[in-house]
Chain A
Amino acid sequence: EVQLVQSGAEVIKPGESLKISCKTSGFSFTSFWIGWVRQMPGKGLEWMGVIFPDDSDTRYNPSFQGQVTISADKSVNTAYLQWSNLKASDTAMYFCARLDGTLYTPLVDWGQGTLVTVSS
């Protein structure tokens, strides 16, 4: 069974750094793109970027380039999303998801989401 299990909710102060995780199982981690999707409170989904864990090829939505870093650790089948300087506007639910194949394939399996709250 394919599973993507995300790390727990975080409450962080503005200006702090954060790294959230997405631990996968049930498929070959190095054979599929893993993506990150943001959902701000009461809003729609936004595609942030993807990583191919085998060679760490990473593609970003230009809107998120330079704002976040996507990485992966093949040894523990886990993808990560990190910030170095969080802002209140980063408050959102963040989902990881597995693409079905190439970059134009759909997001077929999803994590449960990680709620990030940035507040002083």
Chain B
Amino acid sequence: SALTQPRSVSGSPGQSITISCTGTSSDVGAYNYVSWYQQHPGKAPKLIIFDVNKRPSGVPDRFSGSKSANTATLTISGLQVEDEADYHCCSYTGAYTYVVFGGGTKLTVL
């Protein structure tokens, strides 16, 4: 089943926020293959974190990822207005279901 994310989070410009992504010992807890995607309204998702804590080229270091047991966390520091978007976590689950996403979290920058 889908990974569990909060429906929404909010913060002010300059603040830091975290978004949790809770799975099980069969997905998040079993593999270091957690990724995060940013999606602005009407746009395609964009990869911002992979392998738990790695950033693709061009993604600001304000975005960071971590994992503890069955929960992965995305942290965005120094919030900017353009960070307002939906954020989706994703984990590899092995050779049957392969990949599972979270339900998505809407970030509002107040």
Contact = CB atoms under 8 A, between A and B. Distances in A.
Give the size category of A's interface with B. Answer: 20 to 34
A107 B97 contact: no
Given A43-B104, A44-B102, A104-B33, A62 B44 contact: no
Nearest to A95: B44
Interface residues of B, number: 25
A59 B98 CA distance: 8
Interface stretch (A69-77, A83-91, A108-116): A108-116
A85 B45 CA distance: 28
B47 interface: yes
Nearest to A45: B101
Given A44-B103, A110-B44, A110-B46, 17 more contacts: A43-B103, A45-B90, A45-B101, A45-B104, A46-B101, A47-B99, A62-B96, A95-B45, A104-B33, A105-B33, A105-B50, A106-B50, A107-B35, A108-B56, A110-B45, A111-B44, A113-B44
8 contacts: A44-B88, A45-B88, A45-B101, A62-B96, A103-B99, A106-B51, A107-B90, A110-B46
Interface of B: 2, 31, 33, 35, 37, 44-47, 50-51, 56, 88, 90, 92, 95-104
